[in-house]
Amino acid sequence: MTEGTGSGDGSSTEGEQVTYLEAIRQALWEEMKTDDRVFILGEDVGNYGGAFKITEGFLEEFGDDRIIDTPISESAIVGAAIGAAQMGLRPVAEMQFIDFIAPAFDMLVNFAAKVRYRTGEGAGLVVRGPCGAGARSGPFHSQNVESYFANVAGLKMVAPATVRDAKGLLRSAIRDPDPVLYFEHKHLYRRIKGELPTGEEVEVPLGEARTHREGSDLTVITYGSMVHKAAEAADRLAEEDGVELEVLDLRTLRPLDAGAMVESVKRTNRALVAHEAPGFGGFAGEITAQLNEEAFEWLDAPVRRVTAIDTPVPYSPPLEDYHLPQVEDLATAARWLLSY
């Protein structure tokens, strides 16, 4: 898979083709090189170089004060990141799989998210980890956790879909003065490649959506790996039906770029919201509600969602494929909306 050729990707500069995983590694490496306040802590991030080898070679370069191998203690990892952030450091805490953020829920929801509001002293930290399904890894190595945190004021959340955004959003997240959850999709790690400019910084601010593919007939609002499935569905409908879907990649979930969603839907008059997590209580519900409030008059059809079915993520390939929203589901839903 290669990245979409959408107009908003901005990857036209001369540069090298790198993977999504390499983009994450570069962002971490460069931020650590340029800012000695940045440090990484997590399980197996040092000696082993991270479960996915993202921090391979970091320990040798930066030493064990800045690359900290921790016990299997997600609460202590995030807790230490909060304290260090409050002292002016810029911690990047790794969850080996984002599913394991659950033991740190208290620290994120009750400490990190609320500390600026309560005390005026913020905590600029990043918690990053591999999210998402498709790797045949079962219920505890496949989840998408954004909606668990979506209702908590004080947390920011990003979910890059492209190589460029993987790098640019991580850079912005590390520099941000508030807690940012960075969801990197493990299925994209080595499957997508994109061009990164050499010798210049990739700047992707938090809170700005990106038009992955332009279209005039329907807007697919999505993020993370579903951006690529949406683009595939769009290509299919263009070829088979002669319609043009717009694919809006939110990139940041909080703060949400509601303006970009509303602007696009006001042009296309139809909206399909897609994500890989189950639908019930999922992030698509929030998007749907906002479109209802801000763009109802422009809609020619109800907003529909395409999401995973409402189950844990199963292990066996046919089960997992059934669980996950597929290109076919997106195409069917888009056709339903277009014929409404």
Active-site amino acid positions: 141
According to the binding rule CB under 8 A, does residue 84 interact with other proteins?
A: yes
Span interacting with other proteins, options 78-86, 225-233, 301-309, 312-320, rule CB under 8 A: 78-86
Task: Report the residue from 15, 19, 44, 122 that binds other proteins according to the rule CB under 8 A.
Answer: 122
Q: Does 79 bind other proteins (CB under 8 A)?
A: yes
Which one of 108-116, 196-204, 217-225, 244-252 is the stretch in contact with other proteins (CB under 8 A)? Answer: 108-116
Specify the stretch interacting with other proteins by CB under 8 A; choose among 20-28, 77-85, 226-234, 311-319: 77-85
23 or 77, CB closer to other proteins? 77
Q: How far is Cα 222 from Cα 25, in angstroms, rounded to an integer?
A: 25
| By CB under 8 A, residue 85 contacts other proteins | yes
What tokens were used for 7? Answer: 């107009």
Q: Which is nearer to other proteins, 85 or 245 (CB)?
A: 85
Least separation in angstroms between CB 147 and other proteins: 19
User: Is position 257 an interface residue for other proteins (rule: CB under 8 A)?
Assistant: no
Comparing CB distances to other proteins, the nearer of 14 and 121 is 121
Q: Which of 66, 141, 270, 275 binds other proteins (CB under 8 A)?
A: 66
Q: Which C-beta is closer to other proteins: that of 56 or that of 293?
A: 293
Please identify which residue in 14, 47, 88, 242 interacts with other proteins, judged by CB under 8 A.
88
- The answer to whether 162 touches 3, Cβ cutoff 8 Å, is yes
Q: Which of 111, 182, 183, 223 lies at the binding interface for other proteins (CB under 8 A)?
A: 111
Tally of residues, the chain: 340
Cβ distance to other proteins smaller for residue 18 or 125: 125
Count of residues touching other proteins (by CB under 8 A): 47
Q: Which of residues 141-180 bind other proteins (CB under 8 A)?
A: 153-154, 156, 176-178
Q: How far apart are CA 143 and CA 198, in angstroms?
A: 34
Answer for which of 14, 47, 121, 242 binds other proteins (CB under 8 A) is: 121
Please state, in angstroms and rounded to a whole number, the distance separating the CA atoms of residues 189 and 187. Answer: 6
Q: How far apart are CA 60 and CA 269, in angstroms?
A: 54
The site map against other proteins for 22-41 (x = CB under 8 A) is -----------------x--
User: Could you tell me the smallest distance in angstroms from the CB atom of residue 177 to other proteins?
Assistant: 4
Alpha-carbon gap, residue 101 to 312, rounded angstroms: 16
Does residue 300 belong to the site contacting other proteins (CB under 8 A)? no
Q: How far apart are the first and last CA of the chain?
A: 32
| The one among 10, 103, 138, 197 contacting other proteins by CB under 8 A | 103
- For other proteins, the closer of residues 60 and 300 by Cβ is 300
Classify the phi-psi angles of 168: left when phi > 0, otherwise alpha if psi is within -120 to 50, otherwise beta. Answer: alpha
Q: Does 14 bind other proteins (CB under 8 A)?
A: no
Binding site for other proteins (CB under 8 A): 39, 65-66, 68, 70-71, 73, 75-89, 91, 103, 106-107, 110-111, 114-122, 153-154, 156, 176-178, 255, 294, 297-298
